[in-house]
Amino acid sequence: MRIALDTNVLAYAEGINGAERRDAALALIRQLPQESTIVPVQVLGELFNVLVRKGGKSRSDARDALQSWRDTFPVAETSPEVMVAAADLATDHQLGIWDAVVLSAASQSGCRLLLSEDLQAGFTWAGVTVVDPFSSPKHALLHALLGDGAE
């Protein structure tokens, strides 16, 4: 099963919103299958802004963080097809365009799950279900992916 990560998961892993969130995000990421977890390129751009604006990191440190995530997981590009589908999604479901780009990129990459605390949990579009990875109990698909230790 392919999974996409949203900005907040990576931001938490970078220490945004405290040590407890960082530890939870890192524990989650360590359990994900690296070869089938993707990061939409839009997420990297958003992460850069969060790290600089909210995290107070230098642009150089934010760039280094992006490169580290790019080296860790495959990155899904924002193609013209992703953008057109995102515009349809934003129009039909009143999503912000950049959230729609992330969801569209996840769909185009064959993902079943988009792990996000920011989008509506349970929302499904084009085969991708948005799951809050920090909620309890875990969504059934995420629980199955992570195994018995996911609770």
Please, what's the b/e burial string for 105-114 (b: 16 or more CB within 10 A of its CB; e: otherwise)? bbbbbebbbb
State mean pLDDT over 110-117: 96
State both tokens at 57.
């990191």
Q: Which residues pair with 50 in a beta bridge?
A: none
Interval 43-81: pLDDT, tens:
999 999 999 999 999 999 999 999 999 999 999 999 999
Q: Is residue 95 part of a domain?
A: yes
Distance CA 151, CA 134 (A): 10
Q: Is residue 151 part of a domain?
A: no
Q: Is residue 132 part of a domain?
A: yes
CATH classification of the domain holding 57: 3.40.50.1010
Confidence of residue 118 (pLDDT cuts 50, 70, 90): confident
C-alpha torsion sign, points 44, 32, 29, 122: positive
What is the span of the domain harbouring residue 126?
Answer: 2-146
Query: Coil, strand, or helix at residue 85?
Result: helix
The phi, psi pair for 113, rounded to 5°, reads -130, 145
Q: How many domains does the chain have?
A: 1
Taking the alpha carbons at both ends of the chain, their separation in whole angstroms is: 19
State mean pLDDT over 91-105: 95
**Spatial contact of 94 and 119, defined as CB atoms under 8 Å apart:** no
Average pLDDT, the chain: 93
State mean pLDDT over 117-145: 90
